[in-house]
Amino acid sequence: MKVFHGRQGAASEAKTETFTGQVFGDPVMPTTDGVTINNVFFAPGARTFWHTHEVGQVLTVLAGQGWICVEGEAASPLKAGDTVWIPQGEKHWHGAAADSYLLHTAISIGKTHWLQEVDGLAYEEASAPR
Ligand code: MN
C-alpha cells in the first residue's frame, strides 16, 4: 500500500504543451502501476488537445461546467457530479464551457497519446447550445 498525501506547497503546474487556454494541474497520485491521477482546472474556453488513452480514463467533474467530445460526435455537456469513462483508443477532448470554468479529476490508465489541437471553430461548433 502507498499513501499519497495532498499538495504540500508545490505550485500548480501550468499546462501548456497539449492544452489550449489557461489550464492548471495538481498531481493527486503520480503514475503508479500505470495509473495517474490529476486534478485539472480549465479556465472558461480552455480544453485539451485531441488525444487517446492507452487503456482508458475516468473523469469525475468536481465543479463548473464543460464539454467532452468524441471524434465524429456532438460534444456532451459536463457538470459537477458527472462521471465519464473513456475507453481505450477513443479519440476525444475535454474542457471548460465558454462561459464557465471546469474542474475535474482525471484518472488515466496507461499512457496518453496526444494529437492535434482542437481548433477554435471546432470547439465553437461542438460546444454550441442545442
Ligand atoms: Mn482524456
Contact 38, 18 (CB under 8 A): no
Q: How far is the CA of 91 from the centre of ligand 1 (A)?
A: 8
Q: How far is the CA of 10 from the centre of ligand 1 (A)?
A: 24
- Residue 126 phi/psi, 5° resolution? -70, -30
Q: How far is the CA of 42 from the centre of ligand 1 (A)?
A: 13
Q: How far is the CA of 52 from the centre of ligand 1 (A)?
A: 6
The pLDDT of residue 122 is: 84
Number of H helices, E strands in the chain: 1, 12
Q: How far apart are CA 61 and CA 42, in angstroms?
A: 12
| 65-69: average pLDDT | 97
Q: How far is the CA of 33 from the centre of ligand 1 (A)?
A: 18
pLDDT exceeds 80 at position 129: no
Q: How far is the CA of 5 from the centre of ligand 1 (A)?
A: 24
Contact 119, 51 (CB under 8 A): no
Q: How far is the CA of 75 from the centre of ligand 1 (A)?
A: 13
Ion ligand 1: residues, CB < 5 A:
57
Question: Hunting for cell 501548456 — which residue is that?
Answer: 16
Q: How far is the CA of 27 from the centre of ligand 1 (A)?
A: 16
Using the Cα atoms of residue 94, residue 108, residue 52 and residue 70 in order, give the sign of their dihedral: negative
pLDDT in tens, 25-62: 999 999 999 999 999 999 999 999 999 999 999 999 99
The pLDDT of residue 128 is: 77
pLDDT in tens, 79-89: 999 999 999 99
Q: Model confidence at 130, in pLDDT bands (50, 70, 90)? A: low
Q: What angle do CA 46, 52, 53 make, to 5 degrees?
A: 110
